Structure 1
Amino acid sequence: MIPARYSASRFPGKLMKDLGGKPVITRTYEATVNTKLFDDVVVVTDSDIIYDEINKIGGHVLMSKKEHECGSDRIAEAVQDLDIDIVINVQGDEPFTDAESLKKLIQVFKEDKDQIVDLASLMVNISNWEEIKNPNTVKVIVDQQDFALYFSRSPIPYPRDEAVAVKYFKHKGVYAFRKQAILDFYNLPMLTLEASEKIECIRYLEYGKRIKMVETDIEGVEIDTPEDLERAKKLWK
């Protein structure tokens, strides 16, 4: 599932911006289909413009029935009546979506015989301090088994003792859910930590869900700003 909202607050209309001759959302859809990992790839949108674009290329697209706070809510509405086990959320602004990282997420559930994992997500090691400090970069800390402890826009952990060798991880907004986990998310109210940080996956932690983080070294470009789009264009070339 690829949630695709047209009026993104930081960069309105970004999903329809040109990237190498096609809109960003089309590039993301095609990249996800080309992984050949999924029974179906579906764009879920609130926008007639995006709906028409995906429909035009023969893609599978659904129109959201309701206004939603976040992409997970949009996906939950779309999957609640579908007969599925696992759904993966690929963000619409991820045109460099790769098969290797998505395979790792799927493998988490294949190996989770006791079904203790509610959802899985990706993280990338980062070392640039400007990126670590940047509130647009969501950081994650994990336990010894790589289950998420917390997500934040602040640097976590805070380097109170700079002599301690700490690895920092950036959260990539690609999720794999058990169907029940995303339906629970949809039906549970937002609490204060999520409301404060504006990071939707914190809701899962606040309600005791277990998020398995998977490290990847493939970062790509998430298009959140016009500057990101320019970087993506250079990378596309």
Structure 2
Amino acid sequence: MKPALALSLSSLVVIPARLHSSRLPQKLLLAETGKPLIQHTYEAACLARGTDGVIVATDHDSICQAVQSFGGEAVMTSESCASGTDRVAEVARSRPEVDIFINVQGDEPEISAEAIETVRRLLEANPDVSMATLATPIRWLEKLRDPACVKVAFSENGRALYFSRSPIPHVRDGFEEQLDADPPVFFQHLGIYAYRRDFLLQLATAPPSPLEQLEKLEQLRVLEMGQTILVGTIAEPSIGIDTPSDYATFVRKMRNC
């Protein structure tokens, strides 16, 4: 896609932060590194240039207090928020002066400034697009077949065609020979989003769509609404913290820095 002239738009990073987690209880408050996990994510997001701030949107007072204790900005969201998108939308309702909202997951303490800046620039440079996200190449068959790894297929101009937990595109003659292809064939979808404010508010009130309910992927609702999601690519994904093993690995890395 040939980018349009970039506009000067205000943008805000919002980190939806839910206290409860089934695989790693209260993970955002774990602090074996000397800082709660949410602080690592907040500080990483603050390194991105070109945004107008970072705010945590949380469902629990303990996370709100933790963020405020290290000087961060946090707001409590209502109990009716069923997803991170809903929390970001609730912040958007109270921030009419902000044009673009960037949704960064709270359990990604090593989110790169490049990722945040890239997804923001996609919307700034493409005024006809309401939403943007990122992807990174998949080079391992195990990851390609893993339903926990969400895949995305997109056109040459970067517009998302489909998201799936299954390997896409399906290679009839075998996946292995295509894993090292250049340019890459397979892409992992990364859970970072940029939304224009008006579209975000529309999305939060739209009912779950049929494909979304089958795949349990909220971004399919956007495609079924007839909207465009622009996909940018980065070389490496950030590593999310989902399990005790993930957190132990992160702690060791921080202690060795």
Q: Is this contact kept in 1: 2:45–2:116, CA < 8 A?
A: no
C-alpha distance in 1 between matches for 2:16 and 2:206:
19
Deviates more, 1:161-170 or 1:68-77: 161-170
C-alpha distance in 1 between matches for 2:150 and 2:17:
20
Residue number among 210, 213, 217 corresponding to 1:195 in the alignment = 213
**TM-score, normalising length from structure 2?**
0.86
Residue number among 117, 122, 137 corresponding to 1:108 in the alignment = 122
Deviates more, 1:91-100 or 1:7-16: 7-16
Q: Is this contact kept in 1: 2:160–2:228, CA < 8 A?
A: yes
- Indicate the percent of aligned positions where both proteins have the same amino acid: 38
C-alpha distance in 1 between matches for 2:249 and 2:134:
21
Matched, 1:230 2:248: yes
**Structure 2 residues without counterparts, runs of 5 or longer:** 1-13
Superposition deviation, residue 99 in structure 1 = 1.4
In structure 2, the partner of 1:126 is 138
Matched, 1:93 2:111: no
Helix, strand or coil at the partner of 1:6? coil
1:8-27 aligned within 5 A: 8-18=21-31, 20-27=33-40
C-alpha distance in 1 between matches for 2:25 and 2:216:
18
**TM-score, normalising length from structure 1?**
0.93
C-alpha distance in 2 between matches for 1:184 and 1:205:
13
C-alpha distance in 2 between matches for 1:209 and 1:66:
28
**Structure 1 residues without counterparts, runs of 5 or longer:** none
In structure 1, the partner of 2:68 is 55
Return the letter of the residue paired with 1:52.
Answer: Q
Superposition deviation, residue 102 in structure 1 = 1.6
The number of residue pairs the alignment matches comes to 235
1:45-194 aligned within 5 A: 45-82=58-95, 83-112=97-126, 115-162=127-174, 167-194=185-212
**1:205–1:235 distance in 2 versus 1, CA, 3 Å:** farther
CA displacement 1:60-84 (0-9 Å, x = unmatched): 1000023322100111011113111
Q: Is this contact kept in 2: 1:88–1:177, CA < 8 A?
A: yes
Return the letter of the residue paired with 2:191.
Answer: G
C-alpha distance in 2 between matches for 1:43 and 1:7:
15
Helix, strand or coil at the partner of 2:62? helix
Q: Is this contact kept in 1: 2:28–2:38, CA < 8 A?
A: yes
Q: Is this contact kept in 1: 2:49–2:117, CA < 8 A?
A: no
**1:211–1:19 distance in 2 versus 1, CA, 3 Å:** farther
